[in-house]
């Protein structure tokens, strides 16, 4: 009976929240910025590789929501890829546990240049509540050079979208540089 559900969608339109006028909300404003920055300057979309280096999985829950029909990340030209070799951006969550430290660095090494690192969530910024534990080396910057931080415990999907779009705009203003 799948056709009934599809027909309903056709009649009622998509559940995806429409991009509001640019100044009306974060998502709308950022979508507009992304159009001018990502598509004209970068000339392509950005591929994201998410890496959990020690999170409690709260951040993963909110990142997963981005792919759903409400936020529909792909309409912004952003998409998640399965391998760091396909990625432009590493989206890293959690404090860096000492046990994940080597795997995180290997993932970064496997990502081709130019690449950016986004530290997502309060733990990723400086270790968050786990600061001072014997089992962590600190925030993401204790292992990798960080280009952008997105705050929150966990950040909301709207805040994550906003952060990712900021990255694109920032890099559109300066020549692409490889590390």
Partner 1 sequence: MNALALLHAAPTLPCAPFPRRLLSQQDWALLAAHLAAEPGLDLLAMWADPTHIHALFHDPDSADIIPVSTAVEVGLYPALSPARPAAAWFERMIRDLWGHTAADGTDQRPWLDHGHWPATPPLATRPLPNLAAPEPLEFLPFEGEGLHQIAVGPVHAGIIEPGHFRFTCNGETVVRLEIRLGYLHKGTLGLLRGKSPRAAARFAARLSGDSTVAHALAFAHAAEAACAVAAPPRAAHLRAVMAELERLANHLGDIGAIVNDASFPLLQARFAWHREAVLRTAHTCFGHRLMMDAIIPGGCACDLAETGPDAIALLLDTLQTELPGLIRLYDDTASLVDRMQGTGTLTPELAARFAAGGVIGRASARPFDARRIPGYAPYDRLDVTIPQFDHGDVDARVRVRLAELAETTRLLRLLLETLPQGPIALPLPMATAEGIGWSEGFRGDIWHWLRLEGGLITAAFLADPSWRQWPLLEAAIECNIVADFPLCNKSFNCSYSGVDL
Footprint on this chain of partner 1 (rule: CB under 8 A): 1-2, 4-6, 15, 50-65, 67-70, 80, 82-84, 94-95, 97-103, 107, 129-130, 132-136, 153-154, 156
The answer to whether 93 touches 60, Cβ cutoff 8 Å, is yes
Q: Which helix (H) or strand (E) element contains residue 165? A: helix 157-173
Report the 10 Å Cβ neighbour count for 79: 14
Instruction: Please confirm whether the linkage preceding 12 is cis (ω < 30° from 0).
Output: no
At closest approach, how far in Å is the CB of 11 from partner 1?
Answer: 15
Q: Which of 97, 150, 118 is nearest to 47 (CA)?
A: 118
Specify the residue, 48 or 167, whose C-beta has the smaller distance to partner 1. 48
Specify the residue, 54 or 77, whose C-beta has the smaller distance to partner 1. 54
Specify the residue, 36 or 64, whose C-beta has the smaller distance to partner 1. 64
At closest approach, how far in Å is the CB of 137 from partner 1?
Answer: 9
């Amino acid at each position: 009976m799948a056709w009934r559900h599809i027909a309903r969608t056709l009649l009622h339109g998509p559940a995806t929240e429409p991009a509001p006028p640019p100044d009306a909300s974060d998502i709308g404003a950022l979508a507009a910025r992304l159009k001018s920055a990502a598509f004209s300057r970068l000339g392509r979309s950005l591929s994201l590789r998410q890496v959990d280096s020690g999170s409690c999985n709260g951040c993963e829950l909110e990142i997963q929501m981005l792919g759903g029909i409400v936020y529909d990340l792909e309409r912004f030209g952003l998409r998640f890829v399965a391998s760091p070799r396909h990625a432009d951006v590493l989206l890293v969550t959690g404090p860096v546990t000492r046990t994940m430290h080597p795997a995180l660095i290997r993932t970064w090494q496997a990502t081709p240049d130019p690449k950016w690192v986004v530290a997502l969530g309060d733990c990723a910024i400086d270790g968050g509540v786990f600061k001072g534990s014997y089992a962590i080396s600190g925030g993401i910057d204790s292992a990798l050079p960080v280009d952008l931080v997105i705050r929150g415990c966990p950040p909301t999907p709207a805040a994550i979208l906003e952060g990712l779009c900021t990255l694109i705009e920032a890099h559109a203003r300066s020549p692409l540089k490889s590390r």
